[in-house]
Amino acid sequence: MRLPRYPFARRRKPSSAPLTLGQRNIYVFPNRWGWSFAGLILLFLLVATNYNNNLSFLLAFLLAAMALISAVHGQRNLAGLVLKPGKAGAAFLGEELPFTLLLGDSRQRPRFALQIGFKEGVSQELSLPAGDDAVVLTLRPRQRGRCNPGAVVVESRYPLGLFRVWSRLAFDWNGLVYPAPASTAEPLPFASGGDDPGSNDGGDDFSGFRAYQAGDAPKRVHWKSYAQGRGMLTRVYRHGGQKQLWLDWNAATDDGVEAKLSRLCRWVLDAEHSGQVYGLRLPNREISPDRGLAHQAACLEALALFQR
């Protein structure tokens, strides 16, 4: 059992490798119920002394010993767990940012009532039968850019609730926080008045089919072939003649960097949603026009990391 050093716990370097919970990183300290229980035992001893009652003494000592040993059981409930950083997600500012934490068990023991979460996020309860698991932890970030979620806190009050048994582990992983999309809609900034964004489908030259990708506009799916059982195909158009949509830093008329980024973010989402081909032009970076989820993610990442 490790003596409590909670306020002075050494900050360890964030790790990208799996970390195993053990004597070095598990802390045990009585909580409020634990202190109350100590008070209860004192009361027992008082009664026992006053009535000179030896079995009361024995009961008091038995409960005290059970409390102490429950701390060992609590420590064992955590010891041997292997935590490994999994996929760090992405989210818009203001939303929950998900991180996948992989849980392994070097001792193949059932684990009870684990509370896992980020220090500043919401924790969730988890009981594991002996074996591996994964848990998605979330955090509500305060600013855009790369986000390290801070320490993962694993804690438990098993078995008697008298002790808080916990461990704080810092991992080297970063989620991506996009700017929050502007809340008011503004038309997409087509260059020189351009085409009507709604009618460009028919204007492009049809160039063939490709396999359906998630995010392709339903309009472009070749439903006929799908109905014939040939799978989902998407029509591909050559957009050489099309006027390109550039989401330009300068076209955003909002004040301030963050507001401009929010506007651009909204445009990226709108453009992708309507199936446009679009490019992104930031003062320090340019992403050539394309469409699809990967393209959108690249654009959003550029926005997220702008000047960061």
Partner 1 sequence: MNEPKRIPPASQMRELIAALALAGLPHAANLAYGPVALFYLMLAYRYLAIDRPALLPGKKLLISAALAAAAMVWQQSGGIFGKSAGSALLLAGVGLKLLEMHDRRDWYVVVAAAYLLALTQFLFSQAIPMAAYLVAVVVMLTAVLIGMHCGKAAVPLPLRLRQSAALAAQALPLAALLFVLAPRLPGPLWNLPQDKTATSGLSDRLEPGSINQLGLSDAVAFRVNFNGAPPPQNRLYWRGPVFWWTDGRRWEMRELPPLSNAAAAYSGTAVDYSVVLEPHGRNWLLALDLPQQFPADGHLSGDFVLLAKNPVNDRRLLRLRSYTDFRYPELSAAEKRLGLQLPKESSEALHRLVAQWREGRDDAQVVRQALAYFHDNDFHYTLHPPLLTERPVERFLLETRRGFCEHYATSFAVLMRLAGIPARVVTGYQGGLWNDVGEFLEVRQSDAHAWAEVWLNGSGWVRVDPTAAVAPERVERPVVAEVVSVDGGRGVESDSNGFSLAPWVLPAKTLWANVDHGWHRWVLGYDHNAREKALQWLNGGHWPKTLGWLSLALLGVSAPFAWSLWRSERLQTRDPALRSYQRFCKKLDRLGLPRRSSEGPQAYAARIARHLPRLASQAHEITDIYLRLRYGGESGSGLLEALRIKVRRLK
- The identity of residue 14, as a single letter, is P
| Cα–Cα distance measured from residue 36 to residue 30, given in angstroms and rounded to the nearest whole number | 10
Contact window for partner 1 (CB under 8 A) among 73-81, 171-179, 214-222, 256-264: 73-81
For position 266 contacting partner 1 by CB under 8 A, the verdict is no
Return the residue of 42, 65, 185, 191 that touches partner 1, per CB under 8 A.
65
Sheet containing 27-30: which strands, arranged edge to edge?
27-30, 163-169, 152-156, 111-118, 124-128
Closest Cα partner for 169 from 245, 226, 116, 211?
116
| Cα–Cα distance measured from residue 134 to residue 140, given in angstroms and rounded to the nearest whole number | 20
Of 137 and 264, the one with the shorter C-beta distance to partner 1 is 137
Return the residue of 123, 148, 244, 274 that touches partner 1, per CB under 8 A.
123
Whose tokens are 């076209």? That residue is 251
> Minimum Å distance from CB 176 to partner 1?
23
Of 61 and 209, the one with the shorter C-beta distance to partner 1 is 61
Structure tokens given for 274:
């309507």
Whose tokens are 């926005």? That residue is 303
Return the residue of 64, 259, 269, 298 that touches partner 1, per CB under 8 A.
64
> Minimum Å distance from CB 189 to partner 1?
45
Instruction: Give the Cβ contact number of residue 104 at 10 Å.
Output: 16
> Minimum Å distance from CB 65 to partner 1?
4
> Minimum Å distance from CB 21 to partner 1?
12
Contact window for partner 1 (CB under 8 A) among 37-45, 199-207, 224-232, 266-274: 37-45
Return the residue of 16, 127, 207, 288 that touches partner 1, per CB under 8 A.
127
Return the residue of 2, 14, 112, 221 that touches partner 1, per CB under 8 A.
112
For position 125 contacting partner 1 by CB under 8 A, the verdict is yes
Radius of gyration of the chain (CA): 29
- The identity of residue 255, as a single letter, is D
For position 38 contacting partner 1 by CB under 8 A, the verdict is no
For position 87 contacting partner 1 by CB under 8 A, the verdict is no
For position 46 contacting partner 1 by CB under 8 A, the verdict is yes
The most distant pair of C-alpha atoms in the chain lies apart, rounded to whole Å, by: 101
Q: 234 pairs with which residues across the strands?
A: 210, 221
| Cα–Cα distance measured from residue 176 to residue 301, given in angstroms and rounded to the nearest whole number | 7
- The identity of residue 4, as a single letter, is P
Helices and strands of the chain, counted as H and E runs: 6, 17
> Minimum Å distance from CB 253 to partner 1?
43
Of 6 and 206, the one with the shorter C-beta distance to partner 1 is 6
Q: How many residues bind partner 1 (CB under 8 A)?
A: 61
For position 114 contacting partner 1 by CB under 8 A, the verdict is yes
